[in-house]
Amino acid sequence: MTPACGGHESAKDPSSAKSSDRALPNAAGDVSGNGIREGDKAPTFSIDSVNDRGKVAVTPGKVTLVDFWATWCPPCKKNFPKYQRLYTKYKGLEVAAVSVDDDKNGIAEFAASYGVTFPVGWDEDHKITDLYQPSGVPSLYILGKDGTVKYLHRGESAGDEIQIEKEIKSLLGQAQGPAPTTDKTHS
């Protein structure tokens, strides 16, 4: 069985499930999700954003939230506003939102509908997905400044943003709270 969107349900017969109900296969067709784990060095990447917000990138020296998501995924729709709030709140946090959709159409509109100001990209050839091998969408990786995966979260559930924010605060060295900021824009 493979995790479906949200990682909480399974498709009993992956060969008959819609593509949106299956885990993401890597280049070899493996859907086990045996990819990047907590403690692993995360692969770096850089792709153009589809929402004119610069590059969607993982670069050393920055705390980065890497989100694998899709426009058809209901939990992803719940996560985007949470990530926007965190992105706005924490100076020094980067967000790399990587769409695994088969088609580019609708991705920029999806981002706009949630008012996101972080860069959103499309993994056109699934090269980034092949590197990380998430077991499904949504899959969130929080990377430390050293490029190591410090926290891995799959799916979406009420209150999960509390743990995600705790991890971000810790990595940014802001145990006492966020840096004072009222407006954060990135280019």
Q: Read off the pLDDT of residues 44-84 as tens digits, 9 standing for 90 and up.
A: 999 999 999 999 999 889 999 999 999 999 999 999 999 99
Instruction: Read off the pLDDT of residues 125-142 as tens digits, 9 standing for 90 and up.
Output: 999 999 999 989 999 999
> Tens digits of per-residue pLDDT, 92-104?
999 999 999 999 9
Q: Is residue 3 part of a domain?
A: no
Separation CA 58–CA 66 (nearest Å): 8
Instruction: Please give the pLDDT value at position 33.
Output: 53
Q: What is the structure's pLDDT at 185? A: 52
**Over 60: is that where the pLDDT of 23 sits?**
no
53 touches 119 (CB < 8 A): yes
Q: How far apart are CA 167 and CA 184, in angstroms?
A: 20
SS3 for 89-124, per residue? Answer: HCCCEEEEEEECCCCCCCHHHHHHHCCCCCCEEECC
Residue 15 lies in a domain: no
Residue 21 lies in a domain: no
User: Does residue 176 have a pLDDT over 70?
Assistant: no
What is residue 62's DSSP assignment?
S
- Structural domain includes residue 59: yes
Number of domains observed in the structure of the chain: 1
**Spatial distance between the Cα atoms of 57 and 145, rounded to a whole number of angstroms:** 13
Query: What's the rounded Cα separation, in Å, for the pair 41 and 163?
Result: 21
CATH code where residue 148 lies: 3.40.30.10
pLDDT average, residue stretch 153-171: 91
48 strand-pairing partners: 55
Is residue 107 domain-resident? yes
Q: Domain residues for 117? A: 32-171
Q: What is the pTM of this model?
A: 0.79
- Render the burial of 118-137: b for 16+ CB within 10 Å, e for the rest: bbbbbbeeeebbbbbbbbbb
Please say if the pLDDT value at position 6 is more than 80: no
pLDDT more than 70, % of the chain: 75
Domain assignment of residue 137, yes or no = yes
> How far from the centroid of its chain's Cα atoms is residue 32's Cα?
18
Mean pLDDT for the stretch of residues 21-31: 41
- Determine, yes or no, domain membership for 88: yes
Considering the domain boundaries, does residue 62 fall inside one?
yes
